[in-house]
Amino acid sequence: MGVVEMSRGRLNPASPHLMSEPAILCNIAARTLGERSKVDWLSLADDYDRIRDLIARVIPGCDHYNEKVRQKYGFYLPNKPRHGNFSNTHSGKANFTVVDMPIHDLEPGQLVLTTVRSHDQFNSTIYAWNDVYRGVHNERRVLFMNLDDMAARDLAEGDIVDITGHYKGQKRYAKRFVVVPYNVLKGNCAGYFPELNVLLPICSTAEKSNQPTGKYIVITVEKAGEARLPLKASWKERLSPASLAP
């Protein structure tokens, strides 16, 4: 890990009007910031070497980025722990921190939602609708739930539910998700991002790291009263031990 390699798409664009991700971001930046920005955003979308040149100026270990990325197998990013270099710590050794387990008091009926990626997904880019990790096919608007939590809410596999996020008296809503029984701990559930990002408050961040708390969103679930959807994978397959880490 920590290797930077150059990659190239193998397929022809689906449409001549299809924009690349850098082109989308550069156009947003150009139109939003306008003359206030010192960066020529649109020129970056025309030549990715220019983006790498800017990265080389600000990211340690990325000097001569354009040259190094064209080497066979690319190049490694700096990683002091990998090389046993702990010179920046006060002891000159690796330091570990012990953190007490937080106590979270949920109100009756509330669950903790964690958001995850599917198999065919890289960050927020989705390449397919199937998830071989968890046996889900042709659907991403799903909510993985413990069987006991489903029974307590009179829910069955394939039921359609509306999800409400709760944070400091505020409510956020995600409508029409499919219930999928899964091997998650009672009181917890899971679903995909970015579909469930709408439930994540922008001001809810983790201590110290300041990362959005996408792994801990307090929710309630309510049956939407719509028709049940068939799901291809069996309960037995999904209830076998499986990782929700990706």
164 within 8 A of 219, measured Cβ to Cβ: yes
Q: State pLDDT tens for residues 39-65.
A: 999 999 999 999 999 999 999 889 999
233 within 8 A of 136, measured Cβ to Cβ: yes
- Domains (ranges, CATH) in the chain? 19-83 (no CATH), 111-239 (2.40.40.20)
Nearest C-alpha neighbor of 178 from the set 126, 128, 228: 228
Determine the average pLDDT of the residues in 211-224: 94
Determine the average pLDDT of the residues in 17-46: 92
- Are β-strands 3-4 and 142-145 bridged in parallel, bridged antiparallel, or unpaired? unpaired
Maximal CA-CA distance, the chain: 62
**Binning pLDDT at 50, 70 and 90, where does residue 66 land?**
very high
AA letter at 186: K
Q: What pLDDT shows up at residue 243?
A: 46
Whether residue 102 has a cis bond before it, omega within 30° of 0: no
- Residue 171 neighbours by CB distance under 10 Å: 10
- Residue 198 neighbours by CB distance under 10 Å: 13
Return the percentage of the chain with pLDDT > 90, whole number.
62
Q: In sequence order, what E strands does the chain have?
A: 3-4, 75-76, 111-116, 121-122, 125-126, 142-145, 160-167, 170-181, 188-192, 217-223
Determine the average pLDDT of the residues in 12-22: 88
Q: What pLDDT shows up at residue 195?
A: 95
